[in-house]
A and B are shown apart, each in its own frame.
Chain A
Amino acid sequence: MKVLVTVKEVAAVEDDFEIDGLSIDDRYLEYDLNEWDDYAVEAAVQIAEAADEDVEVVAATIGPERSEETIRMALAKGADRAVRVWDDAIADQTLLDVNAKASVFEQVVAEEEPDLVLTGVQAADDALGATGVALANRVGYQWAAVVNDLDYAAGDDVATVRRELEGGVEEITEVDLPAVLSIQTGINEPRYASLRGIRQAQQKEIAPHDLSDLGLDAETVDGALELTDMYEPESESDATIFEGGAEETATELANVLRDKGVVGE
Chain B
Amino acid sequence: MSDVLFVAEHRRGDLRDVSYEGITAGRELADALGGDLHVAVISGSVEAFAESLNTPAVDAIHTVEAGEEFDHDTYAAATEALHAELDPAALLLPNSVNGLDYAPAVADSLGLPYASDAVDVAYDDGLTVTREMYGSKVETTVDVAGDQFVVSIRSGEWPAASGAGEASLEAFEFDADSVDDGARVQGYEEVGSGDVDISEADFLVSIGRGIEEEENLDLIRDLCDATGATLSSSRPIVDNGWLPKNRQVGQSGKQVTPDVYLAIGISGAVQHVAGMKGAETIIAINTDPNAPIFDIADYGIVGDLFDVVPALIEEFE
Which of A's residues lie within 8 Å of B, judged by CB? 11-13, 15-17, 19, 22, 24, 95, 97-99, 102, 121, 124-134, 136-138, 142-146, 160, 162-176, 179, 182, 185-186, 189, 223-233, 235-237, 239-242, 245-247, 249-251, 253-254, 256-257, 260-264
Instruction: Given A97-B113, A241-B302, A263-B228, decide whether A185 and B134 contact each other with a Cβ distance below 8 A.
Output: no
For B287, what are the chain A residues with a Cβ–Cβ distance below 8 Å?
A: 15
Is B72's beta carbon under 8 Å from chain A? yes
B135 CB–A CB distance under 8 Å: yes
Give B95 Cβ to nearest chain A Cβ, in Å: 7
A169 touches B189 (CB 8 A): yes
Q: Does A250 lie within 8 Å of B183, measured CB to CB?
A: no
Which residues on the B side are within 8 Å of A174 (C-beta)?
Answer: 183-184, 186
Are A239 and B298 CB-contacts (below 8 A) given A97-B113, A136-B105? Answer: yes
B195 to chain A, nearest CB (A): 15
Contact A225 B104 (CB under 8 A): no
- Enumerate chain B residues within 8 angstroms of A226, measured Cβ to Cβ: 142-143, 145
User: What residues of B have a CB within 8 angstroms of the CB of A95 in the complex?
Assistant: 140, 142
Chain B residues contacting A240 (CB-CB under 8 Å) are 298-300
**Chain B residue at smallest Cβ distance from A165:** B97
Majority secondary structure of chain A interface residues (helix, strand, loop or mixed) = mixed
Cβ contacts under 8 Å, A182 to chain B: 100
Q: Pick the 6 closest A-B CB pairs, nearest first.
A: A224-B113, A250-B311, A186-B239, A130-B104, A254-B315, A246-B307
Q: Is the CB of A227 within 8 A of B142?
A: yes
Nearest-neighbour CB distance to chain B for A265, whole angstroms, equals 9
B168 on interface, CB distance cutoff 8 Å: no
Chain B residue contacts of A228, Cβ below 8 A: 128, 140-143
Which A residues lie within 8 Å of B245 (CB)?
Answer: 168
Cα A97 to Cα B113 in complex, Å, equals 8
Contact of A185 among B97, B102, B236, B284 (CB under 8 A): B236
- CA of A48 to CA of B114, assembled, Å: 34
**Is A133 a contact of B229 with CB atoms below 8 Å?**
no
Contact of B301 among A17, A143, A253 (CB under 8 A): A253
Residue of B102, B304, B312 with most chain A CB atoms under a 10 A cut-off: B312
- State A223–B189 Cα separation when bound (angstroms): 40
> How far in angstroms is the closest Cβ of chain A from B181?
9
Which of chain A's residues have a CB closer than 8 A to the CB of B113?
97, 99, 223-225
Known: A125-B134, A160-B186, A166-B16. 14 other contacts (CB 8 A): A15-B290, A99-B108, A129-B116, A137-B109, A142-B180, A143-B105, A165-B188, A166-B251, A167-B254, A171-B187, A225-B143, A231-B138, A233-B138, A253-B299
